[in-house]
Structure 1
Amino acid sequence: MVDPLALYVHWPFCVSKCPYCDFNSHVRDRVDQAAWRAALLADLRHEAALLPGRGVSSIFFGGGTPSLMPSDTVAAVIAAADDAWGLTADCEITLEANPNSVEVANFAALARAGVNRVSIGVQSFDPYVLNFLGRAHSGDEARAAIAAAQAHFARVSFDLIYARPGQTLAAWEAELAEALAFGTGHLSLYQLTIEPGTRFATLAAKGDLVIPDGDAAADLFDATQAMTRAAGLPRYEVSNHARPGEESRHNLTYWRYGDYAGIGPGAHGRRLGQATERHKKPENFLSATDRNGHGLKAESDLPGQERATEAMLMGLRLTEGVDLARIEARSGLVRAAFFDAEAAVRLGAQGLVAHQGDRLRVTDDGILLLDSILSELVKTH
């Protein structure tokens, strides 16, 4: 049986640009909704023609701010995916949302359109921090958005950013306790990182923004693991926590190196041993779909070594780790070509990795050293 696909749909528009964000998001005074709906459907049809007979197990509307999408456009994309591939009986359909009142007012319509899971960009409940992060909502709006989402959707997740400048362990524990009290089945908890090309990167270069050092960040991480585990939402990926069975199926497709189609501006895909990339700028994407019937900018074959490397780098983020036999099958390589078994023995003796048969994983003790562990375990050529 052929594995089902995941479908990623990128909506590029935002009300404003956050200073830490390096995603493909754009602020526009006006959006031609009819043109965008037509372009997304054309892009979807192009992918469907290349991937017949697969079935779709998850759809993820990301951005940008996809909760600003008209609900009839969301419904049209879901219907087109069902017509083209067929949705699995338990298909997870996630949409990212910001917690302001305009978007929350759209929740009921989005649920009717077929969305059954939302991921809310809360980031913090603290008004000072929200201002620092450039967020357009208040703490009370965030709380109201989570409650509204729980009323409309079967599954709810929200994001928080921690390890912020000046953040104490006690302050983070209080904020995380409030988050856990909502009782959602999933939380994404990210340490603040300075991404190149963002306003925060400019401030950090001037010395005007300093994030916690390694030891302080490690203490915050350890506290996060203890509190989420006690609440029944253990970590299943570096920054993602879920009640068992409520993990993001869409993101698991990425981390387990399954096939996924990506449509919309700047969307990436992995399918049939190929990497795909759409035109990033919204206007370029629209003109490409008008001209070609799809928004593809690049489509390239991935050599087996690159496929194996990607699968290792993605999969070892998961607490379950990777199945080396599966990577062999998907890359066409023997594991000695992409996996350093001697390094695994050495790291295993230090308690940083566990390797038994085909299963390889990074331990809880090793996860904070993930980057250096990957550089030892993964052969890239």
Structure 2
Amino acid sequence: MRRRNNTRLEPTSPVSLYVHIPFCRSKCPYCAFYSVIPTPVEVTAFLEALEGEIGFLSKSSDRPLLRTAYIGGGTPTLLSPADWERLITVLESAFSFLPTAEVTVEANPGSLAREHLALWKDWRVSRVSLGVQSLQDEDLLAMGRPHDSRQALESMAEIKGKGLSLSVDLLFGLPAQKLQGWSDTLRRVLDEGAEHLSIYELTLEDGTPWGSHPPRDLAAGYPFYRWAQYYLEKKGLLQYEIASFSKPRRWCRHNVAYWSGAPFLGIGPSAWGYDGTVRTGNVADLERYRWLIEKGIRPTLFSERLEGKRRAFELSVLALRTRWGIRIQEYRRLWGDQMLKDLQDSLEGLPPCLFRKAPGRIALSKQGMRVGNTIWERLVP
């Protein structure tokens, strides 16, 4: 096993870890996540800085014990196998992993290599989240994606061939996107063995080319989302979150940790962390990130304490994103009878069909998930 740390675990509460790899081959016109087009020198310098940031953690706390880890970006598959060897060594030297830890890596068709998969399988990776977005070449061309449907299909087959769990990301509401093509994409990714799908409606973000100059003929997202709800359930996938579907008990435990308000560490430029009370965000600039760490300064740009009604509001919205919803007795225990009454009053008058019959819980139905934003707005303190 490759550089796996099997030392005895310290008695500490397990947390989740997110690692942001800030590199992309090209910048998609709709994407607001921080990334740059790298040179080999920048990749090496980034890995050195990441090791430095991890060093800050080791000085301030016991060795973290991980229940989940998620390495995303950006495009982690732009790291070479040698770069991945170094990253794995750094992570193994700084963190302990539960024997049942879920480790996910994001990958893109076109940059995913067999060497990546062999290395991940030999390490701890259990799932790969593949940025397919569509299996219609006209959609991929409109989005400026650096791969085609053939490469996406080949990547899915390679992942399954290695025995790794396959998750697929898809986008809908694209320019001139057709419902028939969307249905075909859903069918084909399931045929390739996807156990988990994350489906996102195109959002025109500030600071992106499409945010500044929206493309013409954007498809209305509602019929695409509703079809996915119907079709994926028919094929045996459970909608366990607003944008997430999986085979039974194959949901992404890392994302469930986010939605349940569990603590997580975030490292890398633009990464976020949360310790259960305080939320922090790193600088979203690779050069400044490196400079701060070289100077012995934590690369934290943002920090806020979540308390009282605001924390209750955020945890409520996160819980309502999921099929499990808000546990009424736990909410009462955490926030008291009055805040529970305020929550229930905020939802008063909404059609019963927006909620699922779940004893002891407040949980959205499929219809409710279609209008989630409207429901959450009622909870703003």
Say if 2:65 is the partner of 1:55. Answer: yes
Q: Name the TM-score, length of structure 2 as normaliser.
A: 0.88
Which of 344, 351, 372 is 2:347 aligned to? Answer: 344
Say if 2:33 is the partner of 1:23. Answer: yes
CA contact (8 A) 1:71 1:113 kept: no
Aligned pairs (5 A) from 1:183-262? 183-204=193-214, 208-213=215-220, 217-262=221-266
Compute the RMSD of aligned alpha carbons: 2.5
- Match of 1:31, SS state, is helix
Q: Name the TM-score, length of structure 1 as normaliser.
A: 0.88
CA contact (8 A) 1:337 1:379 kept: no
Shift of 1:35: 2.8
Counterpart of 1:45?
55
Which of 107, 111, 133 is 1:97 aligned to? Answer: 107
Shift of 1:293: 5.5
What's the % identity of the aligned pairs?
27
How far apart, in 2, do the equivalents of 1:285 and 1:326 lie? 39
Aligned pairs (5 A) from 1:50-199? 50-52=60-62, 55-101=65-111, 103-199=113-209
Amino acid at match of 1:352: L
How far apart, in 1, do the equivalents of 2:293 and 2:90 lie? 17
Shift of 1:335: 5.7
CA contact (8 A) 2:20 2:271 kept: yes
Say if 2:8 is the partner of 1:4. Answer: no
CA contact (8 A) 1:20 1:199 kept: yes
Shift of 1:49: 4.3
Shift of 1:299: 3.0
Say if 2:294 is the partner of 1:290. Answer: yes
CA contact (8 A) 1:101 1:141 kept: no
> How many correspondences in the alignment?
370
CA contact (8 A) 1:13 1:25 kept: yes
More divergent stretch after superposition (252-261 vs 156-165): 156-165
CA contact (8 A) 1:256 1:322 kept: no
Counterpart of 1:323?
327
- Match of 1:346, SS state, is coil
> CA 1:312 to 1:200, structure 2 compared with 1: closer, same or farther past 3 Å?
same
> CA 1:165 to 1:360, structure 2 compared with 1: closer, same or farther past 3 Å?
same
Amino acid at match of 1:364: K
Amino acid at match of 1:117: R
Amino acid at match of 1:64: G
Which of 352, 363, 366 is 1:364 aligned to? Answer: 366
Return 5+ residue gaps in structure 2 as ranges.
Answer: 1-10
Shift of 1:272: 4.0
Shift of 1:197: 1.9
Return 5+ residue gaps in structure 1 as ranges.
Answer: none
Amino acid at match of 1:212: A
Moved >6 Å (runs of 4+): none
CA-to-partner distance for each residue in 1:84-105, whole Å, 9 max, x for gaps? Answer: 4421111111111110056455
> CA 1:112 to 1:209, structure 2 compared with 1: closer, same or farther past 3 Å?
same
CA contact (8 A) 1:324 1:335 kept: no
